[in-house]
Amino acid sequence: MMIMAAATTTSRLSFLLRPPLSLSLPATTNHHRHLISTTTTTTSKITRPPKKKLPQLDQHLKRRTRSPAPFDPDLHLSSPAPSPHIPVMLGEVLSAFRDRALRSFVDCTLGAAGHSCALLRAHPELRLFVGLDVDPAALASGTARVEALLRESGAEGPRAYTHLRNFKYVKSVLGGVEEGLAGDGVDGILMDLGMSSMQVNRSERGFSVMGDGPLDMRMDPQVCLTAEDILNSWPEDEVGRVLRDYGEESNWYSLQKRIMKARTSGGLHSTSELVQVIRSASAKTGGRQGWIKTATRVFQALRIAVNDELQTLEDALYACFDVLSPGGRLAVISFHSLEDRIVKKTFLDLIKGDEDERYANPATQKDEIHCEEEEELWSKQRVVGRYGTVLTKRPITPSEEEEKLNRRCRSAKLRVIQKV
């Protein structure tokens, strides 16, 4: 067992994981039953007409595949130390690599290493593990957890390396690991995009709409550009473009004008000042829910711009596919439609050869699929191309149970591709 990186102590934030799990689990005790019946008897008898589903919602539901897998809290509790971040769609990610002999694995977004620890446990055959993160605090936390797990499991663990590096440089990172270990390519890669709870919960990082902090929003504190720079010094048109294209915010023009007006009185220097501007622009539309939704979109837009997230993602997907071994898999969890669109389009580009891709259903085209994959029920519809197979023609979304237990997973979408 060997791990190469600066280690640090893991924070013991068990309460972040455990209370939601136990509070929201199905009512099996008398105490819970009592609470439910009390609530029922005191509820007024007004019956509301069933809500009509919007046509867009219908369309949206058709385009996704909700995970049928039951949520397994034991998976989460099996990590070496309590996690400050609840890994999203953990069971589904494990399924994407289940029954495959993984010799090497790269976690491009190590975070608190929730996914990594579960994968390391599930694949004792691993010989090489590489974890990347651009955030030094996340990397330190993830490294400590991976280290603890490997120490605990003892014996002949994999070589483990963690790097403070942007995942778009995955190729050069792998080029630097020991000769022979990643020579034939990597058998599994995971990208769990977005922010970790450790980042959102620290208001000094500037990611949170609800807490007050500096307008920072950098995942990598070594880069120069911050949200404050964009808001106070980028050309007006560019600010508008960021809000419109990255936030998909319909009220972008009014916000752009208000941000320019704020510049005339010293500019914006904290997240609460930005929220104030957003609230004043959305005062007449939808109250609290209205401004929170707008603020979420504006923060998303600025975060994407600060971290150049979309171009980085596209470049990294090509790089990851390149370093996969034959038969290797790349799984990506995205959290908003701009990311998901890039993953979907890039996956299709990657598998396409000169010929048109064909749509394959594993139930009817078994000749296209290895025997071991026949049982992969999560992969309902596939797209087969010359260079690979998209195993999730429609993205998989969290189970209802997981959504109830961890609201931060609501918008998650998992897509998986396999190289030929």
Ligand X SMILES: C[S@@+](CC[C@H](N)C(=O)[O-])C[C@H]1O[C@@H](n2cnc3c(N)ncnc32)[C@H](O)[C@@H]1O
Binding of ligand X at residue 112 (CB under 6 A)?
yes
CA gap 151, 145 in Å, rounded: 10
CA gap 175, 198 in Å, rounded: 30
Binding of ligand X at residue 414 (CB under 6 A)?
no
What one-character-per-residue DSSP string does 97-145 give?
A: HTTS--SEEEESS-TT-HHHHHHHHH-TT--EEEEEES-HHHHHHHHHH
**First vs last C-alpha separation in the chain:** 31
> Closest CB to ligand X among 74 and 367?
74
**Interface mask (CB under 6 A) for ligand X, residues 125-144, using x and -?**
-------xxxx--x------
| Alpha-carbon distances of 324 from 9, 27, 306, 327, rounded to whole Å | 32, 45, 29, 8
**CB 254 → ligand X: shortest distance, Å?**
30
Contact set for ligand X, span 155-174 (CB under 6 A): 166-167
Binding of ligand X at residue 87 (CB under 6 A)?
yes
> Closest CB to ligand X among 161 and 167?
167
> Closest CB to ligand X among 339 and 357?
339
Vertex 193 angle, CA 337 and 118, to 5°? 130
> Closest CB to ligand X among 281 and 319?
319
Contact set for ligand X, span 352-391 (CB under 6 A): none
When binding is defined by CB under 6 A, the residue of 312, 325, 381, 411 that contacts ligand X is: 312
Checking 223-228 for CB contacts under 8 A at 24+ apart, the result is 223/306, 223/307, 225/306, 226/306, 227/274, 227/302, 227/303, 227/305, 227/306, 228/267, 228/268, 228/269
Contact 193, 317 (CB under 8 A): no
> Of 61-69, 112-120, 340-348, 405-413, which segment contacts ligand X by CB under 6 A?
112-120
- Of 172, 192, 166, nearest in space to 330 by CA: 192
**CB 131 → ligand X: shortest distance, Å?**
9
When binding is defined by CB under 6 A, the residue of 113, 144, 150, 231 that contacts ligand X is: 113
**Interface mask (CB under 6 A) for ligand X, residues 174-213, using x and -?**
------------------x-xxx-----------------
Binding of ligand X at residue 115 (CB under 6 A)?
yes
Contact 323, 173 (CB under 8 A): no
When binding is defined by CB under 6 A, the residue of 5, 17, 76, 85 that contacts ligand X is: 85
Residues in the chain: 420
> Closest CB to ligand X among 16 and 25?
16
Residues making contact with ligand X (CB under 6 A): 85, 87, 108-109, 111-115, 132-135, 138, 166-167, 192, 194-196, 219, 312
